[in-house]
Amino acid sequence: MTTTILITGASSGLGAEMARQFADLGHDLALCARRTERLDELTAEILAVHPDRRIEVRALDVNDHDAVFTVFRDFAAAFDRLDRVVINAGLGKGAPLGTGGFEANRETSMTNFVGALAQTEAAMEVFRAQQGGHLVMVSSMSALRGLPKAVTTYAATTAGVAHLVEGLRTEFYGKSGYGFTVLYPGYIASEMNDGVEAAENKMMVSTEKGVAAMVSAIEKKRGSACVPPLPWAPLSVVMKHAPLPIFRRLI
Ligand SMILES: NC(=O)c1ccc[n+]([C@@H]2O[C@H](COP(=O)([O-])OP(=O)(O)OC[C@H]3O[C@@H](n4cnc5c(N)ncnc54)[C@H](OP(=O)(O)O)[C@@H]3O)[C@@H](O)[C@H]2O)c1
């Protein structure tokens, strides 16, 4: 059955590849990001393969909170319904706390947490009005435990957004029509980690492979999933429970 899926941060990396793979599965797409020329190229690429798909594109900076509500409402009106919203826009800037890097940490906090909060509010407003919908939050394996140095703030934002969805899951428990998924990706090739060579990071997988695991978990409406499952599902146990002296040596 064709459903309409809104994806934020669809101009590159995981968001763009999710769009391609969801289109392959027969879904219609509502795509947004700041770089609309990228979205237009992606739309043309997908429509060349799937001319029957419907794809709408909007410019959106998730730090413009009024625009988040406007764009989500506009997409919902254009399609009549949003079956699924994937909150994916994010960045990975950061510096160790107390070393003069507040601007980078603030930017990451605003985009990844407050921006995601605005997107969650806007998505839930649509879902409550239409009495259902599937909310998907792209968190990160870094959500599972406090991490040091340049990723301390980024990890905190990924934990925060996961908790937003866990709160909603508790609130909507037993209500039919609603679904909540939190994805915890490991290292997946994208613009965010362009500087990291695959040879340097043996756990990095291609965008296609990593996103295939994400799309599979989303389509199954899993409550939460480490993606790809190997090595990240077993590693999640280590990350959560390893004693600190051991954990520090692993990261
Ligand atoms: N790749 C990984 O290994 C990995 C692992 C764990 C979690 N994640 C998460 O996956 C998500 C996607 O990241 P990625 O790896 O695909 O990185 P990416 O290639 O850099 O893509 C990031 C996307 O977010 C959008 N974005 C950033 N700031 C935005 C803003 N202010 N407003 C609107 N859109 C904004 C970008 O679009 P514009 O610049 O065009 O606006 C871009 O489409 C992020 O939330 C990231 O934390 C990635």
Give tens-digit pLDDT for 162-194: 999 999 999 999 999 999 999 999 999 999 988
* pLDDT for the residue numbered 193: 87
User: How far away, in angstroms, is 175 Cα from ligand 1 center?
Assistant: 31
Average confidence score pLDDT of the chain = 96
Band (pLDDT 50/70/90 cuts) for residue 1 is confident
- Rg (Cα) of the chain, in Å, rounded? 18
User: Given a cut of 70, is residue 250 above it in pLDDT?
Assistant: yes
pLDDT of residue 197: 64
The DSSP element (H or E) to which 32 belongs, if any, is strand 28-33
Give the number of other CB atoms < 10 A from CB of residue 207. Answer: 18
Q: Is the pLDDT of residue 102 over 80?
A: yes
**Nearest Cα residue to atom 32 of ligand 1:** 61
SS3 96: coil
Preceding amide of 245 cis, omega within 30: no
Element (H or E) spanning 12, and its range?
A: none
Q: In the predicted model, is pLDDT for residue 224 greater than 70?
A: yes
- The residue among 3, 162, 4, 195 whose CA lies nearest residue 90 is 162
140 ligand 1 Cβ < 6 A: yes
Residues with catalytic function: 154
pTM: 0.98
pLDDT band of residue 199 (cuts 50, 70, 90) is low
pLDDT exceeds 90 at position 195:
no
- For residue 220, pLDDT over 70 is answered with yes
For residue 57 and ligand 1, the question of a CB distance below 6 A is answered with no
Mean pLDDT, residues 76-96: 98
